[in-house]
Amino acid sequence: MRTRFLLLFVLLVGLGLAVSAQRTVKPVLHGRHWVAITGKPLGATAGAMIFEKGGNAIDATCAMLASVCTMWDTLSWGGETQALIYNPKTGKVIAINGLGVAPTGATPEFFRSKGMAYPPEYGPLAAVTPGTPGGLMTMLAQFGTMSLKQVLAPAIEMADGYPIEQQAADTIEHQKREIKKWPPSVAVFLTHPGEAREAPQPGEIFKQADLAVTLRKLVEAEQAALKAGKSRKEAIYAAYDRFYKGDIAREFVRGSRELGGLITEADLASWEVHIEEPVVTRYRGIDVYKLNTWVQGPVMLQALNMLEPMDLKAMGYNSARYIHTLYQVMNLTYADRDFYYGDPYVPPATPLKGLLSREYARERAKLIDWDKNDPNVKPGDPYPFQGGTNPYAKFLANWPPPPPKPTGAEGSRTFEEGFTAGTTSIEAADEEGWVVSVTPSGGWIPATIAGRTGVGMSQRMQAFVVDEAMCPFNVVTPGKRPRSTLTPSLALKDGKPYLAFAVQGGDTQDQNLLQFFLNMVEFGMNVQQATEAANFNSYQMHSTFGDHRAEPGRMTLNEVTPSAVREDLVRRGYKLDYLKLTSGPINAIFFDRLHGTMWGGSSNHGDDYGIAW
């Protein structure tokens, strides 16, 4: 009996050391010259092709982004792109805001008039303006070296026909009932109409003629500008204008409005990509960068601020106390997200300075109940920590408001499908020092195709709320960006790249990225071990999708979690379920300064894949 308890003690307290020594399902990618990682093997191959032709990490990223959009992994050209870029020439991290905005007429009153408690999950009324084409072309023009023609070449070849992979093919079949609501989508996706399986078979050559025409139009605009004596950058922006102000824009709007959408030509013409400064915090000497509050990324920075004074290593990797600590910290930070995060370009302004202050983190940490879960955690009040008074105190006192009654327009996805909804991520780095982390999304299957463009429209509108009492910073408003879950990450140590990392998975993204980061920094795992390591997920925060509900106290654990840990967590008030794979499909690059090399990691959770040289 004594031996049994000793073994249990070693398991719980020393598990970090045990995991850091374990073998992984996938090998580490070692590269000296470049690394390219994304959600599918074909997408990574596109990046490798560009690197081999002399492109830098931005060029390769753009090629991978174009390819995964064409592959519907799990996004399309009408979605949104957000990125962090380390520029070795300036030593600075740059943020790319390629998130679309709500179109003309998208107001709370409009959706209420349709009997909707939230904007819908699918269809043309779910769409914000396309952001990915603009995000890609802005990154390429500003920081790349190649032409649009070069980086779009793999995607154009794929649009002409490529062997579709199983996940996309099966998703088409699974979602064909929704697809059949929109004739242009039927024409693209259901290649075997009337048969038992109407979707393509895995490995079948999947052709997208309209999309191929659209992509070639972009190249035509660029090449015509070059012939007219324009610079590389000017020529790429000529293609940008053709998408947002030319014949592509007109057809996109015509197709959208024909199906009942709201997007106008003026909405497309006035939208723009923002090149921004990211937000940052320091954890144990490492500077961690995230995008601003138009995504959920700052929750990880808030969590790190709360966790840094704690001795996480002494708790032991995935001990009950460690899991409980992270769960409670996330309760507090995600409650702040649910109430305060929104588009910083449209009033009201999120109290970001207060949210990221160390003093606020210390005050929030005092609320942790170390013995049991608190299912009633509320947002804090960061305004005093930036010298202000909270203008929404009445909402805060009564938060959350009663959930709206179901309307029947909530969509077909289960709570879990919405909460963990996947997309893809892209990580790239080169020997010159450029580093890119991207989490693009939107326009996933069952996307509504806009006319003859071949472009699937975004579904990001559903991230808005219509009730100001739920989140006064994220109320649907024309010209406003919805608060997104998409959250690329970069970390620097001593001013040099240390880690680039991202993951797909809806509201679980920063949960998994926080645990991944701590796996490396606190528990000594290498980048591949950290991508595969068992994480847990909380559902106590409000879902960004569907009916925006929460399930306080619910937790998903890995199947290998010891019974003693399970029993301890149940005593603390958690409702547990289990999965075989819980890391999330994390992709990452670690920069080995000692040897001057790059280590790529890509988890075994899905089809994510990397190539290095």
**pLDDT value, residue 423:** 82
Q: Does 406 score more than 70 pLDDT?
A: no
Alpha-carbon distance 473 to 408, whole Å? Answer: 26
Q: Return d(Cα 110, Cα 260) in angstroms, integer.
A: 13
* pLDDT tens-digit series, residues 134-156: 999 999 999 999 999 999 999 99
Angle at alpha carbon of residue 543, lines to 337 and 428, rounded to 5°: 75
Q: Give the pLDDT of residue 327.
A: 98
**Gyration radius of the chain's alpha carbons:** 23
Looking at every residue in the chain, the average pLDDT score rounds to 94
The predicted pLDDT at position 20 comes to: 56
pLDDT in tens, 13-58: 444 445 556 799 999 999 999 999 999 999 999 999 999 999 999 9
For residue 419, the model assigns a pLDDT of 65
* pLDDT of amino acid 21: 63
Burial class of residue 347, CB neighbours in 10 A (0-12, 13-18, 19+): exposed
Is the Cβ–Cβ distance between 184 and 118 less than 8 Å? no
Helices (H) and strands (E) in the chain, counts: 24, 19
Percent of the chain with pLDDT over 70: 94
Per-residue model confidence as pLDDT tens digits over 181-220: 999 999 999 999 999 999 999 999 999 999 999 999 999 9
Residue pLDDT, tens place only, 341-385: 999 999 999 999 999 999 999 999 999 999 999 999 999 999 999
Q: Is the pLDDT of residue 319 over 90?
A: yes
Quote the pLDDT of residue 5. Answer: 32
8 A C-beta contact, residue 598 and residue 578: no
pLDDT at 3 over 50: no
**pLDDT at position 407, please?**
59
Q: Which residue has the tokens 């370009």?
A: 345
pLDDT tens digit sequence for 494-547? 999 999 999 999 999 999 999 999 999 999 999 999 999 999 999 999 999 999
pLDDT tens profile 553-594: 999 999 999 999 999 999 999 999 999 999 999 999 999 999
**Residue 13 confidence (pLDDT):** 40
* Token couple for 101: 């905005």
Give the tens place of pLDDT for each residue, 59-83.
999 999 999 999 999 899 999 999 9
Cα of 316 vs its chain's centroid, Å: 29
pLDDT of residue 508: 95
